[in-house]
């Protein structure tokens, strides 16, 4: 049975003290709302990881927002999977649209990052999504399939079963726009069908697929009620403890 997950992505927000304060609020609130088979994750900037891992316990897991594809070496400014794992993180976001857009991360690079993450015991939250132009011109199925094939479909079945996928319509990130529950379900079902074609029904049925496009307390329940949507990758709403907790509550509705 696939996991139900709400993962917060703080992006480049909050200084050290602000992050610790918000996370403490989230932990105290989530412990009363999260059911045993659900996961709450916060993916913070690197500066918070060690401290948050000590505070989260079993109630809120910790993830990074990026890693290098390199193991170590003369790569100034980069952070390795081994480093991230050593401070208590268990998850890492890979392929977020902002990394693809602003830092020109290719599917080939992301394939390498995914394998590096898995080799060090981190669970990738692998993001795919289409732009507004790709949505409007009808090429979005091909775009999403390419991101899957070139990014993660080279994994062995054993490794693929360890990852989480997040569908994030790029046109709905930070814009206030949201895919309708029906639009989101259509894409999630497509992703699951592509997984089934490559790895079989059982693997596809067990793969957690999150929705990540302006999900908030007002629309979370309708999104999460869809058959193939297993939770959310949350941006702005994860910076407010009440909003993030209410989204977790929506998993139960």
Question: Catalytic residue numbers?
Answer: 96, 168
Report how far residue 223's alpha carbon sits from residue 253's, in angstroms, rounded to the nearest whole number: 11
Binding residues for substrate: 9-11, 174, 214, 235-236
SS3 for 169-218 is CHHHCCCCCCCCHHHHHHHHHHHHHHHHHHHCHHHHHHCCEEECCCCCCC
DSSP conformational letter for 238: G
- Please report the DSSP string for 25-91 in residue order: HHHHHHTTT--TTEEEEEE--GGGHHHHHHHHTTTSEEEES---SSSSSS-TT---HHHHHHTT--E
Binding-site residues from annotation = 9-11, 174, 214, 235-236
Cβ pair 75, 68 in contact under 8 A: yes
CA dihedral of 45, 79, 118, 49, whole degrees rounded to 10: -30
Q: Rounded to the nearest 5°, which phi and psi values hold at 45? A: -60, 160
């Amino acid at each position: 049975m696939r996991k139900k997950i709400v993962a917060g992505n703080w992006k480049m927000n909050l200084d050290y003290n602000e992050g610790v304060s918000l996370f403490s609020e989230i932990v105290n609130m989530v412990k009363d709302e999260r059911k045993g088979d659900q996961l709450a994750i916060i993916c913070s900037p690197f500066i918070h990881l060690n401290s948050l891992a000590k505070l989260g316990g079993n109630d809120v897991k910790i993830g990074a927002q990026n890693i290098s594809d390199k193991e170590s070496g003369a790569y100034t400014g980069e952070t390795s999977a081994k480093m991230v794992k050593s401070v208590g993180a268990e998850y890492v976001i890979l392929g977020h649209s902002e990394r693809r857009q602003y830092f020109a991360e290719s599917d080939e690079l992301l394939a390498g990052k995914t394998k590096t993450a898995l080799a060090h015991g981190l669970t990738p939250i692998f993001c795919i999504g289409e732009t507004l132009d790709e949505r409007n011109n009808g090429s979005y199925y091909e775009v999403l399939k390419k991101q899957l094939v070139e990014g993660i479909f080279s994994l062995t079945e054993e490794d693929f079963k360890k990852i989480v996928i997040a569908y994030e319509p790029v046109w709905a990130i930070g814009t206030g726009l949201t895919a309708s529950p029906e639009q989101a379900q259509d894409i999630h079902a497509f992703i699951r069908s592509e997984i089934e074609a490559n790895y079989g029904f059982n693997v596809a049925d067990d793969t957690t697929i999150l929705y990540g496009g302006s999900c908030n307390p007002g629309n979370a329940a309708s999104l999460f009620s869809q058959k193939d949507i297993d939770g959310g990758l949350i941006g702005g709403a994860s910076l407010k403890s009440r909003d993030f907790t209410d989204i977790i509550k929506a998993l139960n509705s």
